[in-house]
Amino acid sequence: MLNVAMLSRWHVHADGYADALKKTGKVNISAVWDENPALGEEWAKKLGAPFIPDLDALLARKDVDAVCCCTPTTMHREVIVKAAEAGKHIFSEKAMATTVEDCIAIADAVKKNGVLFMLSFPHKGRPDVQFIKRCIDNGDFGDITLVRIRNAHNGISGGWLPGYWFDEKAAGGGAMMDLGCHGMYLLSMFLGKPKNYAAIYSSPFGTAVDENAAALIEFENGATGVSETSFVSYASPYIIEVHGTKGALVSTDGKVLFRNVKTAEYQNGFITPSLPAALPEPIRMFPDICLSGGPVPEQYGAEAGIELTRLLEETYKVNASR
C-alpha cells in the first residue's frame, strides 16, 4: 500500500485525483495540506485523513511515501522541491512550473534526492495521439510540415470555471497555461525542439488572464506547430491535424481520418485506421510505478515538463511584447 499526501485542493482536478488514487485499491490517503487551511480542513474531513497545516511537518511524517501536488502553479517549485528534499515521490498537475528556471530547479531536486517524479499529461495516452506518434516515427507522413491542435471550451463564457482560476499570480496564466498545455505538450512530443515563436493571447471577457489564445511555433525540424485554446468557445471539438509531404491526418474528438501515399488507392483517399487502446491515465499509473520503484516513463517525466514550460514561457513572452 502506498501512503499518499494530497497537497492542496486548488486545482480543479484535485478531487478527481484523490478519487482515482483511492480507486486503485493500492493507495491510502494519509494526510492533507492546503495553502488555505480552512479549505484544507474541510477537504481532509471529506477524505478521512488528518489535516496538517504545516507543510514541513507533513513531509516529515513516516506515513507519507508520496505526494500529489495540486497547488497553484506558481507554488510548484517551492512545494515540489521541499517534497523531493524530504524523500517523497511526487505526482504533479501540469504545468510543471511557469518558468524553465523553476522547472530545472525541480528536476535538479528530484535527481539529487533520488525520488520519482511524474506529471499529469493524460492526452499522451489517447488512442489517436498514440497512432499519430507511431506514424511520425515510421515516417508515414514524410516530412512533417504542420501540426495543428485545438482544445477549447466555454469555461468563462459559460460561467462554470471558478473565479479564482483567473488569478494570474496563482495560475501563472489562463487558457494556454491550463487547457492549452495539452496541445503544447503534444506539439513537443510530435515535433521535438522549438526554434521560433509567435502568439496572440486575448481576454475578450475582461479577466486578468488569457481567455482566447493561439500560438505559432517553428520547430528545428522545419515543421510549424499551432496550438489553439479557449475558455470562450462553445461546443468546440478537439481537433488534431497533421500534414506532411507524404501524408495527412485529421482527428476530430478522437475520430481519425488518415491518408498517405500508400492509401491513395482507396476511395476518397482517406481511411479510418484501427487505433491502439487508450493508456491508463498517469494518476492511475503512479501508484504502481512507486510501488515497483520506477522508472517513470520518459513522456511523463521532468524533461518533458521542461519542454512544455519552454513553449509556454516563450509564447507568453512573445504575446506580452506585442
Q: Taking the CB of residue 113, how many other CB atoms lie within 10 A of it?
A: 15
Task: Please report the sign of the dihedral spanned by the C-alpha atoms of residue 8, residue 14, residue 19, residue 23.
Answer: negative
DSSP structure class, residue 124: G
The predicted-structure confidence for 197-229, as pLDDT tens digits, reads as follows 999 999 999 999 999 999 999 999 999 999 999
Which stretches of 70-193 are assigned E, i.e. beta strand? 89-92, 117-119, 144-152
Which helix (H) or strand (E) segment holds residue 5: the answer is strand 2-7
Given a cut of 90, is residue 22 above it in pLDDT? yes
3-state secondary structure of 40: helix
| Cell numbers given for 254 | 478522437
Query: Which option is the CATH number for 2-120+282-298: 3.40.50.720, 3.80.10.10, 3.40.1410.10, 3.40.309.10?
Result: 3.40.50.720
- More confident of the two residues 265 and 310: 310
**In the chain, where are the structural domains located?**
2-120+282-298, 123-278
Residue at grid coordinates 524530504: 86
Mean pLDDT confidence for 240-258 = 97
Domain 123-278 in the same topology as domain 2-120+282-298:
no
pLDDT band (50, 70, 90) for residue 267: low
Q: Taking the CB of residue 71, how many other CB atoms lie within 10 A of it?
A: 23
Report the helix count and the strand count for the chain, using DSSP H and E. 10, 12
Give me the pLDDT at residue 173, please.
97
For the entire predicted model, the pTM comes to 0.96
Give me the pLDDT at residue 263, please.
75
153 HSE (CA, 13 A, CB side): 11
Given a cut of 80, is residue 268 above it in pLDDT? no
| Cell numbers given for 278 | 487508450
Give me the pLDDT at residue 266, please.
63
Domain 123-278, CATH: 3.30.360.10
Give me the pLDDT at residue 252, please.
98
Instruction: Pick the closest to residue 202 from 237, 231, 178 (CA basis).
Output: 231
Give me the pLDDT at residue 56, please.
98
Give me the pLDDT at residue 262, please.
81
3-state secondary structure of 252: strand
Share of the chain above pLDDT 70, in %: 98
3-state secondary structure of 260: strand
Distance from C-alpha of 162 to C-alpha of 146, rounded to nearest angstrom: 35
Q: Is residue 17 within 8 Å of 43, Cβ to Cβ?
A: no
DSSP bridge partners of 196? 218
